[in-house]
Amino acid sequence: MIPNKRLHPIMFAGTGSDVGKSIIAAAFCRIFRQDGYRPAPFKAQNMALNSYVTPEGLEIGRAQAVQAEAAGVACHTDMNPLLLKPSSDHTSQVVLHGKPIGNRSAYEYFRKEGREELREEVCGAFDRLAGQYNPVVMEGAGSISEINLRESDLVNLPMAMHAGADVILVADIDRGGVFASVYGSIMLQREEERKHIKGILINKFRGDIRLFEPGVKMLEELCGIPVVGVVPYYKDIHIEEEDSVALQTKNMQAEQGKVNVAVVLLRHLSNFTDFNVLERDPRVHLFYTNNTDEIMKADIILIPGSKSTLADLYELRRNGVAQAIIRAHREGTTVMGICGGYQIMGQEVCDPEHVEGDIERLPGLGLLPTSTSMQGEKVTRQVTFTFRDNNAVCQGYEIHMGFTSLVGDAPLSPLNTLSDGRADGYYVNAACMGTYIHGILDNAAFIDFLLEPYAARIQKTAFDYQAFKEEQYDKLADHVRKHVNLPLIYQIMQGND
C-alpha cells in the first residue's frame, strides 16, 4: 500500500436501505486516513432529516459530516450536493449545494424532466472532490436494484460509472434473504453496470462466522464476484445514526441516581444528534418519549428541532404532551427548547405566508415571552458563542426558518451571545430557556450549566465528547479491518482502469 498512489474511488452500495452503508463508508474513511491517504466522503443524493452546516454556512446530510469527521477533513457541500429533507409523507425540501431550492413531491422529483441538470450538478461536485482527495469514499442510496427508477437515478450505479468507482455491494444478513438480495441485486444490473461491482460485503453478522464460510463460497460462485468481508454486528461502538428509527427503542423509564432527561419525541423531529452527548454522559439518563406519564418523571425536558414546527405543535396540543410539559415545569422540571423546540416554547408560532403548510397560527406553550413568524429564507451558519455569565467559548450551528422576537414589554434576556455580538435565544431562569443553536449540548461547559441545579445528587465526571468520538471511529476502523480482506480491496482500487 503506497499512500501516494492514486486509488480508484470506492462506492459502498446496498441491496436495500439500512444495510449499514453509511457506517461502512465512515469506517473506510478512517481506515484510509490511518493508512496515510487523504480520503473524503461523497453521496450524490441523501434523504434525511438530520443535517449539518458546513464552515461556509451551507447545509449537507449529517451522515456525510460524520464521514468527513472520520476522514479528518472539513465537511463541504460537494460531499453531499443534493439533500432531500422530508416535510411530509409525500413531499421533501430539496437542498442543492447547501441551499434550499423548493419543495417537491416524490413524483415531481423523480420524473425525467430536469434530471440531467441535477445530474450535471452532482457529477460536477464529485469531479471537484476527486481533484482534491484520494480516495473518494462514495455511498449509494437505498437499493441498487430499483430498476423502475433507473433512468432518474443520480446516486447509485450511474454515479459510480461517472466516477470510475469500484463498487462494493453491502448486504445485511441480519434481516435474512442475503443470497437472494445479493444475487438479485447484481443480476438486475445491465452488463455495463455489473462490471463496476467488484466485491460483496456481508454486514451485521451474528454468531460464529465459520458457519458462513460455505455461504461465502456459494455467493462467489453464484455471482462471480469475491466476498471482501463478513462484518459482525456490534453493540459497543457508538457512531451517529443517520435516521431516527432507533429512537423508538430509547423511550425507557426514568432511573434513580442520575439526572433523568426526556427528549420529546416529535413526529417531525430533526437533528436528534443534538442529544448524543447526553446519551453518553454518565451523569445523565436520556430517553425519548411522547408519553405524558414519562414526561412528568423527567428532571429536564428537552424539546428538539422539527422539520414542521406548526404540525408538531398541533400534535403536542392534541395528544396532551403540551399540557404535561407545562404542568411539569410548574412543578419544578427544567424545560429547554432547541430550534423548533425554542419556537414551540413561545407565546405563538405564526405562518402567514404558509411556508410550512395551511396552519397560519397556533398558541405556543407560553413558557417564553416570544413570538415566531415563519419565513421563506432559511438561516444556515456555524456559530461561536458564549452563554450567560460563562466565559467558555462554545461552537454550534444554526439551521432554521423563522424569526423570533420578544412580545410586549418582555425584558432582554438572551441565553447566548454570538461572537459578532448578536443575541440568541431566551433565558427566563435555570429551569426555562431556549436557543436556535444546534450542537449547544456538545459543549461541556453548557452541559455543566444545564445540570448545575441537580449537582447535589450527581458525582461530577468529566466527559470529553470529541475524544470519545475519535475513539469510536478508531474502534470502528479496527472492527472492520479485522473482518474484511483489506489487501484485496486495495488491489481492486489499484487495478487497471
Same-domain check for residues 230 and 293: no
**Same structural domain, 332 and 388:** yes
- pTM equals 0.80
Contact present, 460 and 14 (Cβ < 8 Å)? no
| 376 shares a domain with 266 | yes
Longest CA pairwise span in the chain (Å): 76
Q: Is 251 inside a domain boundary? A: no
311 domain residue, yes or no: yes
State whether 309 and 197 are in the same domain. no
| Residue 241 CB contacts under 8 Å (≥ 6 apart), including other chains | none
Domain count within the chain: 2
Task: Profile the chain (497 residues) by mean pLDDT over runs of 10 residues.
Answer: 80 94 97 97 90 92 95 97 81 89 70 78 96 96 90 92 96 92 95 95 91 93 96 89 54 69 92 91 92 94 94 95 97 97 97 88 96 89 96 95 93 96 97 97 95 82 83 96 97 84
Are 40 and 143 contained in the same domain? yes
Q: How many CB atoms lie within 10 A of CB 212?
A: 18
Same domain, 170 and 192: yes
152 falls within a domain: yes
| Model pLDDT, residue 245 | 46
Are residues 320 and 203 part of one domain? no
3 torsion bin: left (phi>0), alpha (psi -120 to 50), beta (else)? alpha
pLDDT at 165: 97
In a domain, 463, yes or no: no
| Bridging pattern class, strands 370-387 and 394-406 | antiparallel
In a domain, 71, yes or no: yes
Query: CA torsion 263→268→274→279, rounded to 10°?
Result: 40
- Give Cβ neighbours of residue 303 (< 8 Å, ≥ 6 apart): 264, 266, 325, 335, 336, 337, 338, 340, 341, 342, 344, 345
**CA 437/CA 443 separation, integer angstroms:** 11
Which residues does the annotation mark as catalytic? Answer: 339, 438
Alpha-carbon span 395 to 55, nearest angstrom: 11
Helix (H) or strand (E) holding 213: helix 213-223
State which residues form the domain around 80. 10-238+471-493
Q: Quick one: 451 and 479 in the same domain?
A: no
Query: What CATH number corresponds to the domain at position 398?
Result: 3.40.50.880
CATH code where residue 186 lies:
3.40.50.300
Does residue 485 sit in the same domain as residue 396?
A: no
Assigned domain for 462 exists: no
Cell numbers 467488484 correspond to: 198
**Same domain as 394, residue 274:** yes
- ω into 363 cis (within 30 of 0): no
Considering the domain boundaries, does residue 417 fall inside one?
yes
Whether 274 and 412 share a structural domain = yes
Same domain, 415 and 442: yes
Q: How does pLDDT run across 201-216, given as a tens digit for each residue?
A: 999 999 888 889 999 9
Instruction: Give the span between the Cα atoms of 20 and 352, in whole angstroms.
Output: 42
Determine, yes or no, domain membership for 139. yes
